[in-house]
Structure 1
Amino acid sequence: MRPLPEKAVSAVSHEQVLALEKALVAMPQVEITPVHYFAEGLYAREILIPAGTCLTGKIHLAEHVNIISKGRISVLTEDGVKTISAPATLVSKPGIKRAGYAHEDTVWTTIHACEAETVEEAEVALVVGTFEQFELAYGTKEALCHS
């Protein structure tokens, strides 16, 4: 198992992000339907986040690229909350669970080096549901992903 990466933990505690997520689940939900793209050795997931939406992301096992191609969103990053206006590109480290608030309709795409051929394979290879699962699984998903 590889050592956990530096900056895998955000400036805001895991407990705070999870508390926000718990509060959000109790509210009316916005339907966000991802669009999935597969290319040789790559998987991309694109979502449209409607203006006024507060959301949390998944915990990723590998470093990946994020592209914000439309809109403006405030996002919890490893260095605190930043407001990002499109066009923008950033890299996420493994183990980050982001939270965000879309000030405008925002298009967000994550791009992963991954040999998965289905959405289900990509989900298994790329994300986990809890920080405990991240700590157990980090470094064990190399069969489908190149990190």
Structure 2
Amino acid sequence: MNMDIDLLIKHHFSAGLYAKEMHLPAGHFAVTHKHKYDHISMLYRGIAIVKVGDVETEYVAPAFILIKEGQEHEVLAVDEITWFCVHETDEVDVEKIDKVVIAS
């Protein structure tokens, strides 16, 4: 289930790092995507199932998850979660950031 909900996205930037903060209600998910490089995600609050390829793993906050280069992944909120994706980039324009960090 992922209707048009407000994910309360916040963008955090610091010296070559970018963190995208999202809040997902229970039963909602962050859509499948991949990156051209390894990156770290953090489950700050709640319980989530992270699907990487065909493998699903349940995490309970706090948890750090390494997503390897080129792996399609999605995040399902078992209960309400706060999730951070952390990327190395010098891009600070929120209108361009997804084009830089998400592989097509």
| TM-score bin (small chain) | 0.7 to 0.9
Aligned pair partner of 1:65 in 34, 40, 47: 40
Report percent identity of matched pairs.
24
What is the alpha-carbon distance in structure 1 between the residues aligned to residue 30 and residue 89 of structure 2?
25
Indicate the structure (1 or 2) with the bigger Cα radius of gyration.
Answer: 1
Aligned pair partner of 1:88 in 57, 63, 67: 63
What is the alpha-carbon distance in structure 2 between the residues aligned to residue 108 and residue 86 of structure 1?
9
User: Shift of the alpha carbon at 1:95?
Assistant: 1.7
Letter of the 1:120 partner, please give it.
E
**Structure with the higher helix share, 1 or 2:** 1
What is the alpha-carbon distance in structure 2 between the residues aligned to residue 109 and residue 116 of structure 1?
17
| Deviation digits for residues 70-120 of structure 1 (CA, Å, limit 9, x no counterpart) | 000111125711111000001111222223321111111011111112123
**Structure with the higher strand share, 1 or 2:** 2
| Native 8 Å contact 1:72 1:86 kept in 2 | yes
What is the alpha-carbon distance in structure 2 between the residues aligned to residue 43 and residue 58 of structure 1?
17
| Native 8 Å contact 2:33 2:74 kept in 1 | no
Secondary structure at the residue paired with 2:95?
A: helix
What is the alpha-carbon distance in structure 1 between the residues aligned to residue 30 and residue 102 of structure 2?
17
**5+ residue gaps in structure 2?**
none
CA RMSD of aligned residues (A): 1.9
| Native 8 Å contact 2:46 2:60 kept in 1 | yes
- Runs (4+) of structure 1 exceeding 6 A deviation are none
Q: Name which structure has the greater RCO, CA cutoff 8 Å, separation 6+.
A: 2
Length-normalised TM-score, structure 1:
0.62
Length-normalised TM-score, structure 2:
0.85
User: Shift of the alpha carbon at 1:29?
Assistant: 3.2
Matched, 1:116 2:88: no
**1:93-104 pair list within 5 angstroms:** 93-104=68-79
What is the alpha-carbon distance in structure 1 between the residues aligned to residue 53 and residue 7 of structure 2?
24
- Provide the aligned length of Structure 1 versus Structure 2: 104
What is the alpha-carbon distance in structure 2 between the residues aligned to residue 61 and residue 120 of structure 1?
19
Aligned pair partner of 1:49 in 3, 20, 24: 24
